[in-house]
Amino acid sequence: MRKLIIWCALLVVNAALVPGSSAQVPTYRVDPIANFEVTTQPLGASDAGHLVGYQVIDGVSHPFVATLDEGLVILPLPEGAMAGLAMDVNSDGTVVGTISGNGFAWDSGAPAFWIRGTDGTYQPQLLDYPATVPALGQQMATSGGQVTAINDAGQMVGFVRIQGFMGGPSLLFSPTEDPINLRELGFQATATDLNNQGKVVGGGLMMDLATGEVTDLGIPAPHGGTPFTNVLAYAINNRDEVVAAADLASTVFENYLTYRFNGDDGWQPVNPAQLPSRYVGFYDNNDLGDISASGGVLFQDENVLVSGYASLLEPSFSSWEPSLGFIDNSRRVATTAISGNQNALVLLSPLTFGDADLDGQVNSGDLLQISDSYGLSGTVWAGGDFDRSGATEFNDLLLMAEHYDDPTPLAGLELAPALISDWLDALALQGLSAVPEAGSFQISAYPNPFNPRTVIHLSGLQGPAQGLVQVFDLRGRLVRTLHQGPILSPEFTWDGEDNSGNRVAAGPYVVVGTANGEAQVTKVTLVK
């Protein structure tokens, strides 16, 4: 549902930090969707994690849809078609774009969409469009067109192409009814995006499909004394906030700056320090008011602007160089990225504050991981510096406490005393109860540290018990299951091997014992 316009080159970003705290600005991980070795261009994305666009294969553009679960899927074309473009996608996975009978989808394609069947496959369908439209005082023949945007209600907008021209009147397309010419209703612009409230934008106009009302958004105030000639709106969120390229009148060449619009403040620059470019760039926004565009990435609530996503990656993903991308309401970003010789479609996902081991959970394993780093400077995310301040300290524990979800007692983890004290204070400040105290049984290990084996002992068991004894590494990954079922003996030996019989690396591990639904933990260390 979010769109970008095709550009000749990407703007070189000159971004500055807007005043405000960066504590809550996301830190991202990189999840590759699909590698590629041919020209691959994303054109749209949905809030459900779909990314669409085209790949150039043997000189011909082929439409695709990509998701983290299924990778990249080339969309089928009807018999006789050669090329196509996937321009946008909604949360149901319905894709819109254009299909061409020759290799020039941009110039000669017909409006089309792809719908996903119950079997998971996509089926292409061409859309009707008028053979002629009023233009230049006469009826002019059309030669196809494009569907540029679709919303979650299934409304589709785009344009019909006038013979000899790239663009023509904007249309509201339908799979079952005749298209509606929006130009005849007062929308004198090329439709580029559509929100879930049925508001269409293009050029400097916004139209409400429900009422037919067309709003002229005007132009921004002069920039450094230079007036703007026009704006080209490319993205609109569900709050009717618009992101656009504003065209300066300084030279005969285009000079674009990225501006945002809302009904209260009118037009405002996204990045006051941005330098003009003669090229239209990338534009997207989400319902939080965040903007991902040429000129920088603006996190609205935090009032923070950064030049791009590379500076926000967790250090273990720092080899990636992500491009600007489509930012959804969870602040996930669908884009392309490079790591060495690897080119990939990727999904950048915000890490949960407190998830030091990147296992998707905030629990006692994370506390154990950051225990040795607590109070130190020069730490990174994996060491507990969740607010990226350069040190692991109390503020990081406050962020962690907000997401903590683990009833396991801390006894046996050998956490640093200062960490335990501050952790309980952080929980209290978040209005959360303290971690449960030790229950009816305890878990211990001897010898510890050990080599080659240690004995895990469960003491204080009250009568027969069903139990589970497992060994995990500090990233929360299961290493070995020592016991599962009735507990007939309280002692279990671990020989330092994993479930496949391989000797594990020296270092600390966590042993979790569960009896009748109650869990206890202890830390053991395998030495060389």
CB burial of residue 399 (10 Å; 0-12, 13-18, 19+): buried
pTM as predicted: 0.80
Q: Identify the pLDDT of residue 166.
A: 61
Rounded CA-CA distance 259/204 in Å is 12
Q: Going along 276-386, which residue ranges are E strands? A: 283-285, 291-293, 296-299, 304-306, 321-322, 326-327, 333-339, 342-350
Query: What is the pLDDT of the chain when averaged over all its residues?
Result: 89
Q: In this model, does residue 22 exceed pLDDT 60?
A: no
Q: In this model, does residue 440 exceed pLDDT 80?
A: no
Q: Identify the pLDDT of residue 207.
A: 98
Which range among 115-129, 289-303, 357-371 shows the weakest confidence by mean pLDDT?
357-371
Q: Identify the pLDDT of residue 435.
A: 55
CB 150 within 8 A of CB 144: no
* Ranges 48-57, 456-465, 508-517, most confident: 48-57
Pick the residue with more confidence: 435 or 477?
477
Pick the residue with more confidence: 81 or 164?
81
Three-state SS letters, 118-177: CCCCEEEEECCCCCEEEECCEEEEEEEEEEEEECCCCCEEEEEEECCCCCCCEEEECCCC
The model's pLDDT over 335-365, given as tens digits with 9 standing for 90+, comes to: 999 999 999 999 999 999 999 988 888 988 8
Residue 17 — very low, low, confident or very high, per pLDDT cuts 50/70/90?
very low
CB 64 within 8 A of CB 47: no
The model's pLDDT over 244-291, given as tens digits with 9 standing for 90+, comes to: 999 999 877 779 999 999 999 999 999 999 999 999 999 999 999 999
The model's pLDDT over 364-406, given as tens digits with 9 standing for 90+, comes to: 889 989 998 999 999 999 999 998 889 999 999 999 998 898 8
Rounded CA-CA distance 219/478 in Å is 58
Strand order in the sheet with 180-181: 132-135, 138-150, 156-162, 170-173, 180-181
Q: Identify the pLDDT of residue 4.
A: 45
Q: Identify the pLDDT of residue 14.
A: 33
Q: Identify the pLDDT of residue 424.
A: 87
Q: In this model, does residue 7 exceed pLDDT 60?
A: no
Q: In this model, does residue 10 exceed pLDDT 50?
A: no
> What are phi and psi for residue 315, nearest 5 degrees?
-50, -35
Residue 66 — very low, low, confident or very high, per pLDDT cuts 50/70/90?
very high
CA distances from 97 to 84, 100, 141, 489 (A): 7, 10, 21, 66
In this structure, is the dihedral angle defined by the CA atoms of residues 136, 138, 141 and 144, taken in order, positive or negative? Answer: positive
Residue 232 — very low, low, confident or very high, per pLDDT cuts 50/70/90?
very high
Q: What mean pLDDT do residues 223-235 have?
A: 95
The model's pLDDT over 163-207, given as tens digits with 9 standing for 90+, comes to: 766 678 999 999 999 999 999 999 999 999 999 999 999 999 999
Q: In this model, does residue 234 exceed pLDDT 50?
A: yes
Residue 104 — very low, low, confident or very high, per pLDDT cuts 50/70/90?
confident
Rounded CA-CA distance 306/271 in Å is 9
